[in-house]
Structure 1
């Protein structure tokens, strides 16, 4: 029997393999403005971050103002790329289908983006009425609010839940809220999560045994 009563998943990088796609789109747009960055830079500085924080970083790298249309253009271009190329994290569909505990998703992304991406990879039906977005409460990771909101709505206390995260900001937010955290390290290229999370794992198919 699991010590946990609920699993709270992050979305990008945990359920859907969207980080490389979304960040490459941001890199391309930043470089159009003269930023001269690459995907490695983006994965180090943008992964798991609020979009406005990413734009603030880009603004320090370019010599011209960020266009007012930048965010809308990014949303449009990234969704086009997601529709063409997005895949679920390997093994996650089987995990969701077999998971015997209540579960939900808590993301820094907009609910519309979560819905779009989960629908593209066939996971949306599993998460209907269980989508929690930082945008809805205007509190962003590493603040714990989105996790606390998710747990309360699902009917559980933080100590009864485990959060599955792949970004340092998300991990810090979950820990600040009093949650155990399983760090998914398949794309943790800088080994940021080891030693600060409850457990680490690099293959999503390991999650069921860990629970």
Structure 2
């Protein structure tokens, strides 16, 4: 029997394969201001980060002021790209169909983005009433607040929950809140998670056996 009574999933990169799509949009927009970066740079420096931190980094790279409309333009462009290209992470539907404990999603993204991506990937029915967004509480990873909120709402203590994350900031947020956290390393280009997460795995096919 698993010691975990609840599983809390991150969204981007764990449930939906959105990271390369959204970060490519951000890279393209940054290059429009003269940042001169590529997707590899974006995955290394933007993945899992709070949007304002990404915007600050782009301003530093381009040595230009980034307009207030930047985030709205990014959301619009990325949403359009999501509608064309979004897919569930390979194997995650099998995981959700076979988990025998309650689960939810806790993400740094806005709730409308979470719902859009889950819907496009065919996963929204699994999470309809169990979505927790950092934007709702204005606290972002590595602050553990979104995970603590999710656990409390689901009715469990942090020690009873397992967090599934793919970013360093997310792993640190879980640890800061007293959670065990499994790091999904399929896109861990910096190899940052192995030394931080409770355990790591590179394929969803392995996850059920680990839980």
Please, what TM-score do these two structures have when normalized by structure 2?
A: 0.99
For residue 209 of structure 1, what is the aligned residue in structure 2?
A: 209
- Deviation at residue 196 of structure 1 after TM alignment: 1.6
- Deviation at residue 63 of structure 1 after TM alignment: 3.1
For residue 189 of structure 2, what is the aligned residue in structure 1?
A: 189
2: CA distance, partners of 1:31 / 1:97 = 41
SS of alignment partner, residue 119 of structure 1: helix
SS of alignment partner, residue 164 of structure 1: strand
SS of alignment partner, residue 142 of structure 2: coil
1: CA distance, partners of 2:71 / 2:30 = 11
Q: Which runs of 5+ in 1 are unaligned?
A: none
Q: Which runs of 5+ in 2 are unaligned?
A: none
Deviations 1:173-196 (CA, angstroms, capped at 9, x unpaired): 000000000000011112101122
2: CA distance, partners of 1:91 / 1:23 = 22
Deviations 1:119-167 (CA, angstroms, capped at 9, x unpaired): 0000001001100000000000000000000000000000000000000
For residue 13 of structure 2, what is the aligned residue in structure 1?
A: 13
2: CA distance, partners of 1:137 / 1:69 = 22
SS of alignment partner, residue 97 of structure 1: helix
- Deviation at residue 98 of structure 1 after TM alignment: 1.2
CA RMSD of aligned residues (A): 0.7
2: CA distance, partners of 1:33 / 1:78 = 18
Deviations 1:37-72 (CA, angstroms, capped at 9, x unpaired): 111111111111111110010010113321221111
- Deviation at residue 114 of structure 1 after TM alignment: 0.1
2: CA distance, partners of 1:190 / 1:138 = 28
- Deviation at residue 117 of structure 1 after TM alignment: 0.2
For residue 156 of structure 2, what is the aligned residue in structure 1?
A: 156
